[in-house]
Amino acid sequence: MRSAFALLGVAVVLFGGTWPVTKAAVVAGATPLWFGLSRAGLAALVAAAVLAAARRLRWPARQDWRVVVPIGLLQIGGFFALAHLALLVVSAGRTAVLANVVTYWLIPLSMLVLGERVSARRWAAAGLGLAGVGVLAGPWAVDWGSARALLGHGMLMLAALSWSVAIVVTRRFPPRRPMLELLPWCFGVGTLALAPLALAVEPGGGIPAAAWPHMLAVGAVAAPVGTWCVIEVGRRLPGAVSSVGFLLVPAVGVVLSTLWLGEPLGWDVLAGGALIVASVVLAARG
């Protein structure tokens, strides 16, 4: 249990920092889908190289593909595509908040599909965390009459759903081999899913030289290491605990977006962050 929480901490820091870096790359001229494609492809190469150096690079067993394909299509391909496209119309802080809020999907899915029971304390933790997310997201600052705003926020909720379904699949069908050995194949499937989408939607897109440092940081470090941590946390912790724990990602993302990109910092960031931290502590004790 302690190691799972350590992995959660690593994932929170890496994924919390990913969104301001990705937003900076988009501002520098990178197109969202090509950035997502490069992120997945580079992560596949880095993970494969590390495993090859350790002599652990192997073709997945037949039953492991039940995990590799859903993670590649949903947690990597679907999540990257939806969340990166949303960055065109949604701030980095708000993207970090909504794209990573798996609580409103993961808890009911864990109950319905996995038969997990959620204690009253963990229900309270989830409610407290979602209240913090609501404060962080600041719905009062959104123009809900704008079709672009509605589309952007809808894509972020679907991104969170894609991530949640992938987590449930890994718990329902545990792989034979360690997830670390399956990472190159997961990212490979995600790359294959994103490639035709990037070519069709952004035929003239790409990543300019100014955005290469951002892509290298996300693709070579945050994507492979953070994704492995997220998958392991999802497998090792109950859905109610892991989903509340992942709420720390948006809190870190909002803070980093404020410090780096100059997005406004106010009472909502402080209050929302405090509520989320309290919810994680409550869930861990429940």
pLDDT for the residue 199: 93
Give pLDDT, residue 187: 95
> What value does the mean pLDDT of the chain take?
80
What percent of the chain is modeled with pLDDT above 70?
76
Q: Most distant CA pair in the chain: distance in Å?
A: 55
Tracing tokens 């690593």 back to the chain, one arrives at 10
User: Is the Cβ–Cβ distance between 23 and 87 less than 8 Å?
Assistant: yes
Domain boundaries, the chain: 2-285
Q: What is the pLDDT of residue 102?
A: 62
- Give the type of residue at 50: V
Mean pLDDT for 17-34 is: 85
Q: How open is the CA angle 167-2-136, to the nearest 5 degrees?
A: 60
